Chain A
Amino acid sequence: MTKSGFVTSSIGKKILMGITGLFLISFLLIHCFINALIFFNDGGETFNKGAEFMGTNWLIRAMEIVLFIGIFAHIFLALKLTIDNRKARPVGYMVVNGSANSTWYSRWMGLLGTLILMFLVIHLKHFWVVSRFTDEITSGKETMFDEMREVFENPIVVAVYCLSMVSLAYHLLHGFQSSFQSLGLNHKKYTPIIKSIGIIFAILIPLIFASMPIVMHFGIIK
């Protein structure tokens, strides 16, 4: 079997899904950390410093490309898996009692992922496009913090962000521990710990993210 055999094999796809998933999880952690700097409530000063660092550091910029590759790989693999899995059951069941043997969010990862993707398009347009492809930020007209305040003035946007974070939470709830399982990391002693960390992560990170539009919208952070 060759390397291409690995990529097309069921386990190969699954492992790549796990690796890209974990990579995106690590990105979430950093993203969350940087954004949480708004909670210094110093008019965005610390946050803007962080944002500037992220926008100018060459390593981060290089990683940004890797990140996009990771996202696209994750999406592409997910699509491929979904199509293949549909083919694997050409005639479906009339009655499926999935809740008897698995969690709904583990079965609906594709849908949750699609919602997150839709959010991602909106989110990138709000911030990433602005910061990278316009001169609004670089010219010093506006800071990223200003941009946030502007965007989150709209209550609909705040609602979309919050709901999307719910999708992310459920996606992570399954995805976090699933990545470890895919990589073969299942151990009587350590898996319960991984699962606990996964639950905390899946709740905490989206919660912090979701709190940002809320606090900005209501002016708690200025």
Chain B
Amino acid sequence: MSHGNMNLTLKVWKQKNKDTKGRFETYHAKGISPDMSFLEMFDVVNEQLITENKEPIAFDHDCREGICGACSMYINGRPHGPKGGVTTCQLHMRSFKSGDTIVVEPWRSAAFPVIKDLAVDRSSFDRIIAAGGFVNVNTGNAKDANNILINKDHADEAFNAAACIGCGACVAACKNSSAMLFVSAKVSQLALLPQGQIEREDRVLNMVKQMDEEGFGNCTNIGACEAECPKSISLENIARMNREYSSAILAQNKLHH
């Protein structure tokens, strides 16, 4: 089956499950069209492997339109590959040239154990949200929506933070495996909105506590997360979370000590 005329060499991380050691395996992707997405190129390779009675490469993916956050490949030393502002599924083969060797690795972090090949377990992110990434409001408790007026700039800024897709590229990019950009995006969204004010302090304390317990590293402000984030979540959110955290600590000590 031929689609185009690009030929590529892939070095892909293969690992049976979380308990076994992995290794790199070399594959040849032939007849690739520049219009294919990176994942469609993988589809072609897998189809070939299945035909040859070999084991296909496992990877996470779902919506393939850059919004679900499932896809997670570390391509040639960068999460989601060489193009800024896109997820792997929106990375097209026109960003490569025929003859290239492409190294594909899974997200690497103690908090993201490998499940198989390129698929990792990101449930740590869910647990961080469960620790405080919400407004405590039961269904049916809401008042009329327009009773809460929100300054447009704040609403826009909250939206920009809320645009995070939870893919984990920030952790993958960070040399320290820090999850600060992800956590700060949610903390920021709710800190910027009136709905989030009541639990502001508990939220940041609980979420940071959970983040630390999950085994993510410490932020040293190198900014790789922001640069690699497919949704361009800003470092300002991390600064805001640092602020939120210090003032929560101060306020809390006032209350309890």
Contacts and interface: CB of A to CB of B under 8 A. Distances in A.
The reply, when asked whether chain A contacts chain B directly with Cβ atoms under 8 A, is yes
| Interface residue range, chain B | 35 or more
Interface of B: 11, 24, 74, 76-78, 82, 103, 105, 108-111, 173, 175-178, 180, 205, 208-209, 211-212, 215-224, 227-228, 235-236, 238-246, 249, 252-253
Contact of A14 (B103, B219, B222, B224): B219
B125 to A, nearest CB: 15
Interface residues of A, number: 45
A62 interface: no
Contacts of B224: 98, 101-102
A26 interface: no
Contact of B221 (A12, A87, A174, A188): A174
Given A94-B103, A184-B239, A184-B240, 7 more contacts: A3-B253, A11-B242, A11-B245, A88-B109, A88-B177, A89-B110, A181-B235
Contacts of A177: 221
A186 B175 contact: no
Interface string A1-35: 10101101111111100000000000000000000
A134 interface: no
A96 to B, nearest CB: 5
A182 B24 CA distance: 38
A9 B206 CA distance: 11
A174 B175 CA distance: 15
Contact of A97 (B11, B78, B111): B78
B24 A94 contact: yes
Nearest to B184: A11
Interface in A173-200: 174, 177-178, 181-188
